[in-house]
Amino acid sequence: MLSSKTALVTGSTSGIGLAIAQTFAKNGANVVINGFGDAEAIEKERAGIEKEHGVKCVYSGADMTKPEEIAAMMGQAADTFGAVDILVNNAGIQYVSKIEEFPVEKWDAIIAINLSSAFHTIRAAVPGMKEKGWGRIINTASAHALVASPFKSAYVAAKHGIAGLTKTVALEVAQSGITVNAICPGYVWTPLVEAQIPDTMKARGLTEDEVKRDVLLAAQPTKEFVTVDQVASMALYLTSDAASCITGSLQQMDGGWVAQ
């Protein structure tokens, strides 16, 4: 399905991003993975993708808070594969705190990684996509691109910004063979979600089980976490010819959260 295509997925050394990269590779795409983590574990994943799927996979350790490193990553992808055909902006971090106690440095980092990095990658990728007359840009947003939750001011602001960026770029490239969409999952069981549980316990005075039941899944009528494979399947569909008329959309995968 994606043979001869190149996909770059930010924040793809674990969780949703890794599942998307693996799914694209399974369907024939060469992939560029990016993110932080244990170097040995990352190399194992990179080599495993190549061996299992018979594609080329390269790793970039670019820091998504640094525009110059993002530019270098995009240049590396272009030099290696000729162009980025599919761009998935998935890198993200989270921090939970009352607004009056929210650390300024945490705000700056979340906006940089969750929002500004997508601007920098899209800006670099669009010219090559226009030249080819084909491209797919997929932004990992969140139900928090559509609704808010307390104690997550930076994250909600960034995800609302991703929604606006998605729509704006989609309009700009609508006649260039490029689609731009955002996937808006509810709570997906990933290291990012798991890591925010202690802060939420502290902020709300709850136990771990209470956080899962009464905070994380309280808004999802299905009472089930979204899986990384479900998100990856949606991303794959958005790259297909069947989805060529879907652009500027916010694809909800939230167990009915936003329907309430």
Residue 89, burial from CB neighbour count under 10 angstroms (0-12, 13-18, 19+): buried
Strand ranges across the sheet with 6-9: 57-60, 30-34, 6-9, 86-89, 135-140, 178-185, 250-253
Pairing of strands 135-140, 86-89: parallel
Please identify which of the residues 95, 155, 187, 237 carries the catalytic annotation.
155
Residue 126 vs residues 86, 118, 134, 178, 237: alpha-carbon distances, Å = 10, 12, 10, 8, 20
Pairing of strands 30-34, 86-89: unpaired
User: Is the backbone of residue 136 left (phi > 0), alpha (psi -120 to 50) or beta?
Assistant: beta
| Helix-helix angle 67-81:117-132, to 10 degrees | 30
Active site (annotated) includes residue 155:
yes
Q: How far apart are CA 152 and CA 168, in angstroms?
A: 24
Which positions are annotated as active-site residues? 155
